[in-house]
A and B are shown apart, each in its own frame.
Chain A
């Protein structure tokens, strides 16, 4: 099944949905983070030279190296809403599998187990496990109980142009009404031939062909939506 929707029942009796994210965006996010980490390490290595590379500077450098190697993802995931800078750019985010924010412990587990997902080379184990389950979890995610989801776009639906509603000549069931409403709302994303094609299926309702059918269907949609 290719459905990437992940459903979970949360308090309030609501089935919440989120889109889980597969290997490609996660790879790009990781690559960006790797670049950022590389730059930080480079800058630190230069800064540490005047402090003595076998003394104070070297000591601090090694501590920072440790933090960047192991704790960089943990710190960002816990304190920056599940997002490292790379994940932020790709609009993806780490979250517990009950869709609550990722906790420190879960983030530690998933990031420490990266070592295993990396085996034998270039995250091969991680890739294979990710592709063999519906939630795209690598081994670290499974042990930590975490998911990577796409952050929902908060873009509001486009404002609808003025349209005169029209009452349909026959009564329709609620799911049918919803389909017509959705046709109206999505019609600006569809090509005109496709709109005509879809409208022609409903010729029995509109009693019109071609562009007139499209127009009438949209007016009926507006009626169902409640425009008066």
Chain B
């Protein structure tokens, strides 16, 4: 068949599809899309086989590309099933990254313990980690004398702190994850220094005997926050490991697979840090609640987070 005859025969259909691609209709028209897609695939094959000229082949190629993208848009929209995500995807991703999580946990906790012990025993040690004004600020935050018991902070300040925690904590987690691209070194550094800071602050405040103000404050939101930071570290380490040890696939494929695998953890991290910011701003900061209530709720939250984190194994098949 001559090219012009072919073009004349199908011109109307092509034009109609071109118009429909420019203004995609709402709702499910996947049946029409699929039919058009198959038809255009056939037209493109014919055009290539009969060596019709490049302009026509390009036009058909772009039509197929457009239909293909429309067709698969439905898949991507229906893919994120929230129930399945919480029930299976997230715990499974956590389970599959258990060794990375263990390493991230150790890299954060061990320097924290060492720094904590050191600042607990040695008065001046905290100044090797933090500078003077920072130490004074932290001391004043948890000084039992400075707190007027029973007076609530204003609700508006809580909202400000909520925003502050969201912006800061999630940014830290994201950077911790991104650092994995530098063969994991960036991630290790973020984990190490965060562990050290938190450890030395805890050690120093324990030494000053601010125990009843500091620990009830951190125990609640710490469950979500610390776990999320460890998860972001694990996700970053997975990327770094995929680059260092690609196994049987190419480095690019290995990295790409790691990038896909950590996605549920990324969603989880964002969610956990939002919960943590909420708790930290509105729950932990409350001074009217008794210490026992804070410890009690903190223990429940920790138990929930840990139980959930360890629930992935049964979803692993074979």
Contact = CB atoms under 8 A, between A and B. Distances in A.
A114 B18 CA distance: 35
Describe A's contact surface by its main secondary structure: helix
The 4 closest A-B pairs by CB, nearest first: A226-B2, A55-B156, A62-B163, A105-B263
Interface residues of A, number: 61
Contacts of A154: 18, 21-22, 62
Interface in B25-68: 37-38, 41, 44-45, 50-56, 58-59, 61-62, 64-66, 68
B10 interface: no
B132 to A, nearest CB: 24
A101 B178 contact: no
Describe B's contact surface by its main secondary structure: helix
Contacts of A54: 157, 160
Interface stretch (B71-79, B191-199, B212-220): B71-79
B68 A99 contact: yes
A112 interface: yes
Given A14-B44, A62-B164, A63-B162, 5 more contacts: A55-B157, A105-B263, A105-B267, A106-B263, A116-B186
Interface string A28-61: 0000000000000000000000001011101111
Given A116-B178, A143-B259, A144-B259, A174 B167 contact: no
B154 A55 contact: yes
B177 A112 contact: yes
Contact of A12 (B5, B41, B59, B157): B41
Interface in B138-190: 154, 156-157, 159-164, 166-167, 170-171, 174-175, 177-179, 181-182, 186
A88 to B, nearest CB: 14
B256 A16 contact: no
